[in-house]
Amino acid sequence: MKILNSASALAIAAMTFAGGTAFAADKELVIFNWLGGSERDLIIALEEGFTAKYPDYEIKDINPAAGGDDPRSGIRSAMLSGEQFDLLLNTWPSFEKELVDADLIRPIDAAWEQYGWSSALNDSWRNLATYHGKTYGAYFIAGNRSGVWYRPDTLAKAGIAGEPTQWKDFLSSFSALKEIGMLPVSIGARSWAQTEWFENALLRTAGPAFAKELSEHKVAWTDDRVKETFRNLRDMLEADCCAEPGAMLSSHWTDAADAVLKNKKAGFMLIGSWANQRAKNEYSLTPVKDYSFMQFPVIKPEYGNAMSVDGKNFLVMKQAKNPEGAELFIDFVLSKEGAAIIAEQNLATPSAHVDPSSYDPIVRKYAQILPLVDVFFVLDDLLPAELSGEFRVGLQKFLRDPSDANIDAVTAALEAKASELYQ
């Protein structure tokens, strides 16, 4: 696969790194942490736990402006400016592949065996960060991207008995919500959250195997299964699910969360498991009692077990001044102590060393699902950045006009961009 533009920038970054300035001290560990909010707080908590256990180490946490809505822009800018660091926090498999191809990160197979990380992470998680037979990253956070969030009191007020687990029942529930003056579904489509709906509908329409082929461009974006996914989403729009397109395109996912969980203006919203922290920390709600989630409704029974997941891992830079310290930090994150810190922050870890009883009820609910379902890494994070941008814009165009003609136009544009990038 040939990645245009970004690959060229990373190649320049590789040369820049080679001539960069040295770090201040042998025991200094520099981590490029672009996260914000509660997730940044988690990384800081892990860093503090690490330095408490290994007091000889000093951690420098780089937390830059991300550069627009896509943090990868900020990461590339930092590399091109000569910024040096030992560890990079990553959440995009496609970006990780770019870094591998640009020879900017180092494999960690030797450390994997040295520290026995297979006791913490099973092969499926290791395989997510394996390229050309070498392992480059260690996942330490796992998130559910198939959770449709709601308030139990909202459903009760509308007379909706239980979670609508089937697509037809989900669409049928809209009329009851509208009768009590609520918007059935809130979608924040200003930037990227609209893709969550397509990705989950794709998994439930065509299955994880097809989604994988699509992410690798082994099938065309003009394939009828892609168009069928759009048509299924059109059924939702035609069931009068949502606000008018302009309102959706001017709203962020946080606005959707406010509407459903805080202000009780809408019934459902779809977003990652970080909604749990927002509901608890910013809305002061009680998990399960005040809010909960259901898995994305089943569209086709044969794909009813599919689940979209995300994850974050640490990558060791090729030009790291302290690669041994970087690997020691990863070991701490995957350890019982690190897993406990992650659980305290209400996030799920794939580490087998976590105590499940330490999770809050929401995290426990989706953590228990993970071993039982067909997981697929969130599609948008598997795509090259340029195709991801086209994907997000295409979904916005679809929300404005879900006609067959526009579905054909959107999928043709996606296929054209994919054909340009995958050579």
Quick: pLDDT tens for 394-418. Answer: 999 999 999 999 999 999 999 999 9
pLDDT tens profile 53-91: 999 999 999 987 544 467 888 888 888 888 899 999 999
Q: Which two structure tokens, joined as six digits, stand for 184?
A: 């059935």
Map out the domains of the chain as residue ranges.
6-144+310-377, 147-307+380-421
Q: What is the mean pLDDT of residues 309-315?
A: 95
pLDDT at residue 321, rounded to an integer: 94
d(Cα 301, Cα 307) in Å, to the nearest integer?
Answer: 13
Q: What is the mean pLDDT of residues 5-15?
A: 54
**6-144+310-377 to CATH, choices 2.60.130.10, 3.40.50.2030, 3.40.50.800, 3.40.190.10:** 3.40.190.10
Contact call for residues 314 and 329 (beta carbons, < 8 A): yes
Checking if the pLDDT of 3 tops 50, the result is: no
d(Cα 367, Cα 235) in Å, to the nearest integer?
Answer: 31
Q: Which helix (H) or strand (E) holds 226?
A: helix 224-238
pLDDT at residue 362, rounded to an integer: 94
pLDDT at residue 67, rounded to an integer: 42
Tally DSSP H helices, then E strands, for the chain: 20, 12
Q: CB neighbours (10 Å) of residue 243?
A: 19
Q: Which two structure tokens, joined as six digits, stand for 361?
A: 């009820």
Q: Which two structure tokens, joined as six digits, stand for 372?
A: 């039982």
Q: Mean pLDDT across the chain, nearest whole number?
A: 91
Residue showing tokens 């009760």 = 156
Long-range contacts formed by 161-169: CB under 8 A, 24+ apart: 163/294, 164/294, 164/297, 165/294, 165/295, 165/297, 165/298, 166/297, 166/298, 167/204, 167/232, 167/297, 167/298, 167/299, 169/297
Q: What is the mean pLDDT of residues 328-356?
A: 94
Q: For residue 23, what pLDDT band results from cuts at 50, 70 and 90?
A: very low
| Residue range 147-307+380-421 in CATH 3.40.50.1820 | no
pLDDT tens profile 269-306: 999 998 998 998 899 999 999 999 999 999 999 999 99
Checking if the pLDDT of 154 tops 80, the result is: yes
Whole-model pTM?
0.82
Residue showing tokens 């001290």 = 25
pLDDT tens profile 98-133: 999 999 999 999 999 999 999 999 888 898 899 999
Q: Which amino acid is at 28?
A: E
- Residue 146 burial (C-beta neighbours within 10 Å; 0-12, 13-18, 19+): buried
pLDDT at residue 136, rounded to an integer: 97
Checking if the pLDDT of 349 tops 60, the result is: yes
Q: Which helix (H) or strand (E) holds 18?
A: helix 6-18
Higher-confidence position of 263 and 17? 263
**Do the domains at 6-144+310-377 and 147-307+380-421 have one common CATH topology?**
yes
Q: What is the mean pLDDT of residues 371-386?
A: 90
Q: What is the mean pLDDT of residues 172-197?
A: 98
DSSP label of 239? T
Q: Which two structure tokens, joined as six digits, stand for 48?
A: 């503090």
